[in-house]
């Protein structure tokens, strides 16, 4: 995403939509003209230079995984049962989604997916070797790619029941977490030395798990009286090191008084359940 659906500012980036096709690119590539929808087939061995290729590091398998991860993320955090959520992927649980991998002549370095469940195009990106889906854009949107495109291949996937996202691990991600930990330590020192410091004693702090390609991390700080503060943190990298900077967040006066189906409480519960680190402010 790549700001995460949960990374609210106002949380999303979460909002929005993170592919292993059982086959490789075949000998034939369908070249489709978006205006007349006609299809021709050419032998790739006869016109290799004329055909588009996927960006370096992007494979059919990684594209499929990215789409699967994106769909699961939406199902996990934004079910229809919670007020305000559309639950757009829920009708497809247990069903197969077909998608074609497109490269538009106007954007030869970008990859898009067109599925059989709507007019949106999934945006596929790569960052530090990680291939991910950065959401969907409607084909009628002014920022959507236009004109002719070539279909690199097709893939299909079965939408599974929602499960905890696979955020991944790496030495680089550990450095990102360490930067957030430093920020949290400084925050606790400030809260425990200022006015009303008694309110922050033994407050619980959660670093929400995240994808390495994200530029921000969600942090929840929960006091003993039920007051919860959402504290997003931006990460900047320089020479292999990360620095964390706090951003404007928001408060929930008493998390315990919100109904289970309140969107704020549901997201809070899901995110602290997915916490990669937990601390006590003391």
Q: How much is the pLDDT for 26? A: 31
pLDDT tens string 67-115: 999 999 999 999 999 988 989 999 999 999 999 999 999 999 999 999 9
Nearest-5° angle of CA 159, CA 162, CA 166? Answer: 100
| Residue predicted with more confidence, 228 or 18 | 228
Its pTM stands at 0.78
**Distance (Å, whole) CA 106 – CA 280:** 52
Lowest mean pLDDT across 22-36, 110-124, 204-218, 227-241: 22-36
Nearest-5° angle of CA 165, CA 114, CA 270? Answer: 20
pLDDT at 142 over 50: yes
- The average pLDDT across 228-245 equals 95
Q: How much is the pLDDT for 13? A: 36
Q: How much is the pLDDT for 105? A: 92
pLDDT at 261 over 60: yes
Average pLDDT value over all residues in the chain: 84
**Distance (Å, whole) CA 72 – CA 15:** 12
**Distance (Å, whole) CA 91 – CA 81:** 13
Q: How much is the pLDDT for 52? A: 67
pLDDT tens string 7-56: 333 333 333 333 333 333 332 323 333 333 333 332 332 233 345 689 99
Q: How much is the pLDDT for 39? A: 32
Q: How much is the pLDDT for 84? A: 87
**Distance (Å, whole) CA 253 – CA 69:** 33
Q: How much is the pLDDT for 194? A: 84
């Amino acid at each position: 995403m790549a700001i995460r659906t949960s990374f609210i500012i106002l949380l999303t980036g979460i909002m929005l939509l993170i592919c292993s096709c059982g086959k490789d690119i075949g000998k034939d590539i369908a070249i489709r003209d978006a205006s007349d929808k006609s299809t021709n087939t050419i032998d790739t061995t006869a016109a290799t230079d004329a055909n588009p290729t996927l960006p370096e590091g992007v494979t059919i398998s990684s594209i499929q995984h990215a789409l699967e991860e994106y769909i699961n993320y939406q199902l996990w955090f934004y079910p229809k049962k919670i007020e305000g959520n559309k639950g757009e992927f829920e009708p497809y649980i247990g069903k197969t989604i077909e998608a074609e991998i497109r490269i538009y002549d106007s954007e030869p370095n970008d990859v898009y997916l067109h599925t059989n469940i709507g007019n949106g195009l999934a945006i596929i990106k790569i960052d530090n070797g990680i291939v991910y889906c950065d959401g969907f854009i409607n084909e009628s949107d002014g920022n959507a790619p236009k004109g002719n495109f070539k279909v690199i291949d097709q893939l299909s996937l079965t939408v599974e029941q929602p499960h905890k996202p696979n955020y991944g691990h790496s030495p680089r991600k550990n450095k990102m977490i360490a930067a957030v930990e430093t920020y949290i330590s400084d925050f606790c020192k400030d809260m425990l030395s200022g006015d009303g410091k008694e309110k922050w004693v033994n407050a619980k702090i959660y670093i929400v798990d995240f994808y390495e390609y994200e530029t921000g991390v969600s942090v929840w700080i929960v006091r003993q009286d039920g007051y919860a503060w959402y504290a997003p943190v931006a990460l900047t990298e320089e020479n292999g090191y990360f620095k964390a900077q706090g951003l404007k967040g928001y408060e929930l006066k008493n998390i315990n008084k919100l109904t289970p189906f309140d969107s704020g409480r549901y997201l809070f519960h899901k995110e602290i359940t997915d916490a990669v680190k937990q601390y006590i402010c003391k």
